Amino acid sequence: MSAAARRAAAALFALAATLWPRLALACAGCSVGNGRNQTQFFWTTVFLSLFPLAMLVAIGWWVVRQCRGFIREEFRDDEEELLEQAHAIRDAMAAGKRPGA
CA atoms of 74 and 31, how far apart (whole Å): 55
In the 8-state DSSP scheme, what is residue 33?
S
Residue 77: predicted pLDDT: 65
Domain ranges for the chain, please list them. 34-94
pTM of model > 0.85? no
Tell me: the pLDDT tens digits for 22-43? 665 656 565 566 777 778 888 8
CA atoms of 36 and 44, how far apart (whole Å): 12
Tell me: the pLDDT tens digits for 33-86? 677 777 888 888 899 999 999 999 999 999 988 888 777 776 666 677 778 888
